[in-house]
Amino acid sequence: MSSAQLHTARSGLRDVLPSEFREVHAISETLRGVFANHSYQELRTPALEEPDIVERGPAGGLAYRVVDEHGHALALRADMTVPIARLVTARYGEVEEPLRFSYIAPVYKAIHPQKAQAREVLQAGIELIGVEAPRGIVEVLTVLDEAFSALGCHKHRIGFNDAGFVANMLGTLDIDRKRKARVAAALATTDFVSLKDDLYGIEGGRMVVDLLCTRVSANQLDSLKTSLPENLLTAFQHNSLGDIVEALPQTVQERIMIDFSLTRNLGYYSGPVFEIYAPNIGTALGGGGHYDDLLGYFGHSMPAVGFALDVDLLHKIVKSGDTK
């Protein structure tokens, strides 16, 4: 008998064995079909990027780094949106016709130990470049809806907001920089207790906090608007949230749940943002939104919108049968 040490993958990483592989592959193929039907062309980018490029994305400074044979640092991509933004600005220059790309690829995330989080996540998504809101995000959400239908999943909801509205709302309040920073931190950590502590005492603050705590379905949006005071109504009309919801197909509208506190703290989302939720899954299945400024960082400011889905979570839902 040999006493060789047995090796399994490090915590947060796992082997995908044939039975699971077949199921995940089938899901990937279904998604590919839907993306292709809408003229999204699949592409691939390197898993390793320049560290300062990866740092623009959700990993920030926490990206995995490797050192090449010359001692130079490289980083593992933490999402596909940033690499695609890089390649679009480098290779397509000024975009005249809209670009449509899709991908199914692993991305790499820093984890907290002992929380059963995945370091390697298989993501499927699309990016639409060169189409402004509301048209761009309406298209992307329509593709998302079709992807879920094609998988036979009908229980998901889409949390939706315009990150610009949060800024506009807070802009109606007379608060100093220090308090503003505290409020931003409270929003980023969904700490509504601190938010109340900081804003309830301020003129108009209570109204803003109550609105930030509001989640409504799309058909409740009109009645909500009539309840807003003048300054908040003006702030609301200065962003695209209402227009986008109105322009969505009925089937997508029914899935929308507007949450005025939703901002997705990935650093690059500038306007409309969304997350996808399903019952019995404790984290979002994915999300997306507009990231116009990110392309600006790489050299050409352009409207851009997309989403990414966690394929392993989709697999979990399909397998659970909790879909109808």
Partner 1 sequence: MNAEKDKLVIAVPRGSLFEGSLKLLADLGIATDIVREQDRRLYFPEIGVLTVRPTDVPTYIEAGAADLGITGKDVLAEHSEHHVCELADLGFGPCKMVVALKADHDYLAQALEDFGVVRIATKYPRLAAAHFHRSGRQAEIIEVKGSVELAPLAGLADAIVDLVATGTTLRENGLVEREHLFDSSARLIANPVSYRLKAKAIDGMLQQVHKWLEKKVNES
Task: Compare residues 132 and 254 and give the one whose CB is closer to partner 1.
Answer: 254
Task: Compare residues 301 and 320 and give the one whose CB is closer to partner 1.
Answer: 320
CB of 181 to partner 1, least distance (A): 15
For residue 216 the two structure tokens come to 């409504």
Per the rule left: phi > 0, alpha: psi between -120 and 50, beta: everything else, 169 is alpha
Residue 6 found at the interface with partner 1 (CB under 8 A): no
Of the candidate spans 187-195, 235-243, 289-297, 298-306, the one that interacts with partner 1 by CB under 8 A turns out to be: 187-195
CB of 220 to partner 1, least distance (A): 11
Task: Compare residues 135 and 155 and give the one whose CB is closer to partner 1.
Answer: 155
Residue 194 found at the interface with partner 1 (CB under 8 A): yes
Cβ–Cβ under 8 Å, residues 232 and 238 = no
Residue 314's CB is within 10 A of a number of other CB atoms, namely 27
Residue 208 found at the interface with partner 1 (CB under 8 A): no
Residue 227 found at the interface with partner 1 (CB under 8 A): no
Residue 282 found at the interface with partner 1 (CB under 8 A): yes
Q: How far apart are the first and last CA of the chain?
A: 52
Task: Compare residues 259 and 292 and give the one whose CB is closer to partner 1.
Answer: 259
Cβ–Cβ under 8 Å, residues 77 and 108 = yes
Residue 268 found at the interface with partner 1 (CB under 8 A): no
Residue 55 found at the interface with partner 1 (CB under 8 A): no
The site for partner 1, by CB under 8 A, has a size of 24
Cβ–Cβ under 8 Å, residues 153 and 314 = yes
Question: Distance (Å, rounded) from C-alpha 310 to C-alpha 125?
Answer: 9
Q: Which of 51, 159, 242, 289 touches partner 1 (CB under 8 A)? A: 159
Q: What is the DSSP string of 122-154?
A: EEEEEEEES--TTHHHHHHHHHHHHHHHHTT--
Cβ–Cβ under 8 Å, residues 13 and 121 = no
CB of 282 to partner 1, least distance (A): 2
Rounded to the nearest 10 degrees, the angle between the axes of helix 311-320 and helix 18-37 is 110
CB of 20 to partner 1, least distance (A): 21
Rounded to the nearest 10 degrees, the angle between the axes of helix 192-199 and helix 177-188 is 160
Question: Distance (Å, rounded) from C-alpha 271 to C-alpha 258?
Answer: 14
Task: Compare residues 284 and 302 and give the one whose CB is closer to partner 1.
Answer: 284
Q: Which of 37, 39, 149, 190 touches partner 1 (CB under 8 A)? A: 190
Of the candidate spans 5-13, 40-48, 62-70, 281-289, the one that interacts with partner 1 by CB under 8 A turns out to be: 281-289
User: At 79, phi and psi to the nearest 5?
Assistant: -160, 175
CB of 301 to partner 1, least distance (A): 31
Per the rule left: phi > 0, alpha: psi between -120 and 50, beta: everything else, 321 is left
Question: Distance (Å, rounded) from C-alpha 265 to C-alpha 196?
Answer: 21
Q: Which helix (H) or strand (E) holds 320?
A: helix 311-320
CB of 192 to partner 1, least distance (A): 6
Q: Which of 46, 249, 279, 299 touches partner 1 (CB under 8 A)? A: 279
Task: Compare residues 88 and 241 and give the one whose CB is closer to partner 1.
Answer: 241
Residue 254 found at the interface with partner 1 (CB under 8 A): no
Residue numbers of the site for partner 1 (CB under 8 A)? 112, 115-116, 157, 159, 189-194, 215, 257, 259, 275, 277-284, 322
